[in-house]
Amino acid sequence: MGKFLNPFTNFGFKRLFGSEENQDILINFLNEILPDKKIAELAKLNSQDRKNYKNSLKYYRDVKNSLDMAFAKGV
Protein backbone atom coordinates (compact mmCIF):
# COMPACT_ATOMS: atom_id res chain seq x y z
CA MET A 1 0.00 0.00 0.00
CA GLY A 2 1.32 3.46 -0.94
CA LYS A 3 1.88 6.28 1.51
CA PHE A 4 0.07 8.96 -0.54
CA LEU A 5 -3.65 9.47 -1.11
CA ASN A 6 -4.92 8.51 -4.53
CA PRO A 7 -6.79 11.57 -5.90
CA PHE A 8 -8.75 9.32 -8.27
CA THR A 9 -10.72 7.88 -5.36
CA ASN A 10 -13.71 9.77 -3.99
CA PHE A 11 -12.17 9.92 -0.51
CA GLY A 12 -8.75 10.98 -1.79
CA PHE A 13 -10.15 13.73 -4.03
CA LYS A 14 -12.37 15.19 -1.31
CA ARG A 15 -9.59 15.03 1.27
CA LEU A 16 -7.07 16.63 -1.06
CA PHE A 17 -9.21 19.31 -2.68
CA GLY A 18 -12.25 19.69 -0.43
CA SER A 19 -10.73 20.98 2.79
CA GLU A 20 -10.21 24.61 3.76
CA GLU A 21 -6.55 23.99 4.51
CA ASN A 22 -5.98 22.80 0.92
CA GLN A 23 -7.83 25.64 -0.80
CA ASP A 24 -4.67 26.78 -2.58
CA ILE A 25 -4.16 23.28 -4.00
CA LEU A 26 -7.70 23.31 -5.42
CA ILE A 27 -7.25 26.77 -6.93
CA ASN A 28 -3.96 25.78 -8.55
CA PHE A 29 -5.48 22.52 -9.82
CA LEU A 30 -8.45 24.31 -11.41
CA ASN A 31 -6.21 26.97 -12.93
CA GLU A 32 -4.11 24.22 -14.53
CA ILE A 33 -7.04 22.33 -16.06
CA LEU A 34 -8.96 25.49 -16.99
CA PRO A 35 -6.13 27.87 -17.97
CA ASP A 36 -8.27 30.20 -20.09
CA LYS A 37 -11.13 30.38 -17.61
CA LYS A 38 -9.42 31.08 -14.26
CA ILE A 39 -12.69 30.01 -12.56
CA ALA A 40 -10.83 29.27 -9.29
CA GLU A 41 -10.01 32.93 -8.75
CA LEU A 42 -13.72 33.68 -8.32
CA ALA A 43 -13.60 31.80 -5.04
CA LYS A 44 -11.44 34.59 -3.62
CA LEU A 45 -14.04 37.32 -4.28
CA ASN A 46 -16.16 38.68 -1.46
CA SER A 47 -19.93 38.71 -1.92
CA GLN A 48 -20.12 42.31 -3.22
CA ASP A 49 -17.30 41.76 -5.72
CA ARG A 50 -18.90 38.50 -6.84
CA LYS A 51 -22.21 40.34 -7.41
CA ASN A 52 -20.42 43.06 -9.38
CA TYR A 53 -18.63 40.44 -11.44
CA LYS A 54 -21.87 38.61 -12.24
CA ASN A 55 -23.50 41.88 -13.36
CA SER A 56 -20.48 42.67 -15.51
CA LEU A 57 -20.55 39.18 -17.00
CA LYS A 58 -24.26 39.54 -17.81
CA TYR A 59 -23.58 42.84 -19.59
CA TYR A 60 -20.71 41.26 -21.53
CA ARG A 61 -22.88 38.33 -22.61
CA ASP A 62 -25.74 40.64 -23.68
CA VAL A 63 -23.40 42.73 -25.84
CA LYS A 64 -21.69 39.65 -27.28
CA ASN A 65 -25.02 38.02 -28.14
CA SER A 66 -26.24 41.22 -29.82
CA LEU A 67 -23.06 41.46 -31.89
CA ASP A 68 -23.18 37.76 -32.78
CA MET A 69 -26.80 38.10 -33.92
CA ALA A 70 -26.04 41.19 -36.00
CA PHE A 71 -23.06 39.43 -37.57
CA ALA A 72 -25.16 36.35 -38.36
CA LYS A 73 -27.79 38.54 -40.07
CA GLY A 74 -25.13 40.42 -41.99
CA VAL A 75 -26.00 43.77 -40.45
Q: Model confidence over 29-72: pLDDT tens digits?
A: 888 887 676 575 777 888 898 898 899 889 989 999 999 999 88
**Quick one: how far is CA 23 from the chain centroid?**
13
Q: What is the mean pLDDT of the chain?
A: 84
Stated pTM of the model: 0.44
Residue 62: its pLDDT value, please? 92
Under 8 Å between Cβ of 52 and 60? no
Q: Is the pLDDT of residue 75 over 80?
A: no
Domain locations along the chain: 1-44, 45-75
Close Cβ partners of 13 (under 8 Å, ≥ 6 residues apart): 7
